[in-house]
């Protein structure tokens, strides 16, 4: 799924990710999936670096892999967990708590921030839903 950097698109992205996880046959915790989607997509949208692409796939036996791609600069980092920041900036701290793994890759000049959420996946294979 590709959306603009308009935060009004977030609800539609969450619905797409939830449907994709259902179609993949996973049992990933839907509240965790919704939070991960919101955090990663909102971070990409905040950069206002153009379109944001979202892809949902099975992560082997570990669950759902969520990838958010944008053309924004820099690499997201976890901020000091002890510091209070009224602007937020705690999204990756949340991701660290709910995801088994997360990271950042570079592909064709774009940044891909991803996380893998645990589940008891019933479906196997290389299926993915990118909505493109």
Task: Calculate mean pLDDT across residues 11-39.
Answer: 94
Q: Where are the domains of the chain?
A: 2-129
pLDDT 10s digits, 93-126: 889 989 999 999 998 889 999 999 997 533 334 4
Written out in words, the top-level CATH class of the domain with range 2-129 is alpha beta
From the number of C-beta atoms within 10 Å of its C-beta (0-12, 13-18, 19+), residue 101 rates as: middle
3-state helix, strand, coil in the chain (%, to 5): 30, 25, 40
Q: Residues of the chain with pLDDT > 70: what percent?
A: 78
Q: Residues of the chain with pLDDT > 90: what percent?
A: 51
Tell me the whole-structure pTM to 2 decimals: 0.81
The lowest-confidence range among 42-56, 57-71, 83-97, 116-130 is 116-130
β strands within 12-129, DSSP E: 52-59, 63-70, 101-107, 110-118, 128-129
3-state secondary structure of 106: strand
Look-up of token digits 């959420």: 117
């Amino acid at each position: 799924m590709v959306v603009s950097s308009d935060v009004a698109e977030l609800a539609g992205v969450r619905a797409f990710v939830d449907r994709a996880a259902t179609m993949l046959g996973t049992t990933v915790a839907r509240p965790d999936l919704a939070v991960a989607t919101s955090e990663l997509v909102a971070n990409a949208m905040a950069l206002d670096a153009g379109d944001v692409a979202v892809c949902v796939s099975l992560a082997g036996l570990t669950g759902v892999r969520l990838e958010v791609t944008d053309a924004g600069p820099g690499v997201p980092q976890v901020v000091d967990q002890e510091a209070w920041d009224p602007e937020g900036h705690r999204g990756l701290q949340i991701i660290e708590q709910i995801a088994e793994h997360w990271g950042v890759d570079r592909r064709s000049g774009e940044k891909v921030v991803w996380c893998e959420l645990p589940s008891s996946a019933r479906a196997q294979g290389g299926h993915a839903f990118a909505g493109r």
